[in-house]
Every structure is written in C-alpha cells, then in structure tokens.
Structure 1
Amino acid sequence: MKPIKHLYLYFHDGQRLALRFPGTASDPVEIARGLSRQLESPFLSIAVDGDLMLIPRESIKYLQISPAPPVLPDATILGAQLIV
C-alpha cells in the first residue's frame, strides 16, 4: 500500500484547502520531473474525486506537502524548523 501524502494550499485571501492522496511515483527521478512540471505550469492541476481541479498559481500564497517527497527542488533549504 502506498503511503498517504497531505497537500495544504494557503491562498492570498486567507483560505486554506487540505487534500490527501496516495503517494505516487516511487522513482526519485520521476518525482523530481513531476515537481518540476508542476512548478513551471501556470496552474496547479489536481484530480479530486474524479474531477480535475485547476488552481491558478498566482492565487496560491504557499503550499505544504507532508511528508516531504524524497527528492526536493535544487535550491531547497534543508533542516528548517517552523517557529510560531
């Protein structure tokens, strides 16, 4: 069974969208390609309950993926802790 991932989207207007989905590709190269494609697209595309959801990237303040994928974008700062 594939592990469950969580995606939290935080929007500029203060709203939050929480999604869960099964982990997809286990190949680190495929994970890196998928992340790169999503970051280059003007829309975040997600299949939700049989529907396609397209979210304009300019409306997203930030997003959080938990747990983090095993392959991260090149410029990622590692080992940070959230302080509130």
Structure 2
Amino acid sequence: MKPIKHLYLHFQDGQRLALRFPQQSNDPLQLAQSLHRQLESPYLRLEVDGDLLLIPRESIKYLQISPAPSALPEDTVAGAQVIN
C-alpha cells in the first residue's frame, strides 16, 4: 500500500481545499521532475474522484504538501518552522 499524502491549497480569496492521495512514485528523481513540471504549468492538474480538476495557478496563494516529498525542488530551504 502506497503512503498517503495530503495537499492543502490556499487560495487568494481565503478559501482552502484539502485533498489526499496515494504517493505517486517511489523514485525521488521522478517526484522532483513531476513537481517541477506542475510548478511551471499555468494550471495545477489533479484527478479527483474520476474528474480532471484544472486550477489556475494565479488563483493559488500557496500550497502545502504533507508530508514533504523525499526529493525537494532544487534550492529548497530545509528545516524551517512557522513561528507566530
């Protein structure tokens, strides 16, 4: 059974969308390449309950993937913590 990942999309208008999905690959290089392609696209592409969901990137304030992928995009600051 593949590990479950969570994706939290925080939108410019203050709404949030929470999704869960199985890990897409065990290959760290493939994960990094896929994440890079998604970040370069004008749309975030997701298959949700048998439907294709296209979310315009400009509507997204930020996204959170939990737990983090084993391979992070190049130049990612690692070990950061949110403080109030």
TM bucket by the smaller chain?
Answer: over 0.9
Q: Does 1:43 align with 2:52?
A: no
For the residues of structure 2 that align with 1:43 and 1:65, how far apart are their CA atoms? 17
Runs of 4+ in structure 1 deviating by more than 3 angstroms, as ranges, are none
Corresponding residue number in structure 2 for 1:59? 59
Amino acid at match of 1:28: P
Structure 2: give runs of 5+ residues left out of the alignment.
Answer: none
For the residues of structure 1 that align with 2:83 and 2:4, how far apart are their CA atoms? 25
Corresponding residue number in structure 1 for 2:80? 80
Task: Name the % identity.
Answer: 70
Supply the RMSD in Å over aligned alpha carbons: 0.6
TM-score, normalised to structure 2, is: 0.97
Matches within 5 A, 1:10-21: 10-21=10-21
Q: Does 1:6 align with 2:3?
A: no
Q: What is the aligned length?
A: 84
For the residues of structure 2 that align with 1:73 and 1:30, how far apart are their CA atoms? 11
